[in-house]
């Protein structure tokens, strides 16, 4: 299936949906997964082992040989798993769980930002920076929650950062369809790069100087094995403004891993100020039930690890928190 065919399929599902955009996108991917003739011929474990993130994993076909008997002889038949198969399989397998975690924390963000106050607050217009965006689930979750809250803020720019060309194109399609459905005017910019290839100057060029930045890390930090790389991510992040706060919304799959805590601590070490107000959410554990129609794909209860914090760069070299 080409990206144009994918867009047409999902757009049709969104137009006829009686629920919401992200449910329509999720269900579209699940339907494509169930209906695909190639996937029907391939053992599920053989598909899922290719569902790790990253350009080298996604952007290429994988040929899987299967033995079969032919007049007493063993022969092989091959099936090709394309980037399309990998993308729809990933969303079918993990999409519901990822969305539940993201929606939980983003809802907390909208509940709590009104209580921050002081001299640093969320601006009326914001820019979203989606690090390791995959197929755009974090941004979709933010836009969906924004609609439910009555659009208290306006998203000017959406910057997607992702090394896989195929995944970032899918993210762009998904988010553009959501923007059209919601009647928004947000501009989407694609950075087809690894996170450590993007620095403050690059990100700054896509943002409005007076806007707060919403930095999304949806199921990214826990997928990074290199601790130095996590530090590089912090080092290369946009440093923010003197007047307005920027925010980090980060979700990990594993509820007992310390990567988000280490990630937050790296900001202190690199002269960022991190709000104490949100620390109570670090390590917060939630269990979610996946929607019944998705349970055929995955029926395990979901838990996660969460980080929600406001940050800004400490130009005065002060050690005080916000």
Walk me through the domains of the chain, giving residue ranges and CATH numbers: 3-85 (no CATH), 97-313 (3.40.50.150)
Condensed to tens digits (0 to 9), the pLDDT of residues 14-71 reads 988 766 898 999 999 999 999 988 888 776 666 666 665 555 567 777 766 655 555 5
Is the CB of residue 208 less than 8 Å from the CB of residue 156? yes
Is the CB of residue 107 less than 8 Å from the CB of residue 145? yes
**CB-hemisphere CA count at 13 Å for 254?**
11
* 40/95 Cα distance (integer angstroms): 20
* Structural tokens at position 265: 């601590």
- pLDDT interval class at 5 (50, 70, 90): very high
Q: How many CB atoms lie within 10 A of CB 227?
A: 12
What is residue 57's predicted lDDT score, i.e. its pLDDT? Answer: 65
Antiparallel, parallel or unpaired: β 73-81 and 62-70: antiparallel
Could you tell me which residue, 112 or 192, shows the higher pLDDT? 192
Please provide the average confidence, as pLDDT, over all residues in the chain: 76
Is residue 119 scored above 80 in pLDDT?
no
Residue written as token pair 């963000």: 109
Condensed to tens digits (0 to 9), the pLDDT of residues 224-283 reads 766 666 667 776 666 555 445 688 888 887 666 677 777 877 777 766 666 654 544 544
Condensed to tens digits (0 to 9), the pLDDT of residues 226-243 reads 666 666 777 666 655 544
- pLDDT interval class at 296 (50, 70, 90): very low
* 288 φ, ψ (degrees, to nearest 5): -120, 145
Interior/surface letters 174-207, b for 16+ CB within 10 angstroms, e for the rest: bbbbbbebbebebebbbbbebbbebeeeebeebb
Q: How many CB atoms lie within 10 A of CB 90?
A: 25
In terms of Cα–Cα distance, which of 253, 316, 251 is closest to 51?
253
| Close Cβ partners of 276 (under 8 Å, ≥ 6 residues apart) | 321, 322
**DSSP assignment, residue 140?**
H
Is residue 120 scored above 50 in pLDDT?
no
The three-state secondary structure class of 297 is coil
H or E element at residue 312: strand 305-313
């Amino acid at each position: 299936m080409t990206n144009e065919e994918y867009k047409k399929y999902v757009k049709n599902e969104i137009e006829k949906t009686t629920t919401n955009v992200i449910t329509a996108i999720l269900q579209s991917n699940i339907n494509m997964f169930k209906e695909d003739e190639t996937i029907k011929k391939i053992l599920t474990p053989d598909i899922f082992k290719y569902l790790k993130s990253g350009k080298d994993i996604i952007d290429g076909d994988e040929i899987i040989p299967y033995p079969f008997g032919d007049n007493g002889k063993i022969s092989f038949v091959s099936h090709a798993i394309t980037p399309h198969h990998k993308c729809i399989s990933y969303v079918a397998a993990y999409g519901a769980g990822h969305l539940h975690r993201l929606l939980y924390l983003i809802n907390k963000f909208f509940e709590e930002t009104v209580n921050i106050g002081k001299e640093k607050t969320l601006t009326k217009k914001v820019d979203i920076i989606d690090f390791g965006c995959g197929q755009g689930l974090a941004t979709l979750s933010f836009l969906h929650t924004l609609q439910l809250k009555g659009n208290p803020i306006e998203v000017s720019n959406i910057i997607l950062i992702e090394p896989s060309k195929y995944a970032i194109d899918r993210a762009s399609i998904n988010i553009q369809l959501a923007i059209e459905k919601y009647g928004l005017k947000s501009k989407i910019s694609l950075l087809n790069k690894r996170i450590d290839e993007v620095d403050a100057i690059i990100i700054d060029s896509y943002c409005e100087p007076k806007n707060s930045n919403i930095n999304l890390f949806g199921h990214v930090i826990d997928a990074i094995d290199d601790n130095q790389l996590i530090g590089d991510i912090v080092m290369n992040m946009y440093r923010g403004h003197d007047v307005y706060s920027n925010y980090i919304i980060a979700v990990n799959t594993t509820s007992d891993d310390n990567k988000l805590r280490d990630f937050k601590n790296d900001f202190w070490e690199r002269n960022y100020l991190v709000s104490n107000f949100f620390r109570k959410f670090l390590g917060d554990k939630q269990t979610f039930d996946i929607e019944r129609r998705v349970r055929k794909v995955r029926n395990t209860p979901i838990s996660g690890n969460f980080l929600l914090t406001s940050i800004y760069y400490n130009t005065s070299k002060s050690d005080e928190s916000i």
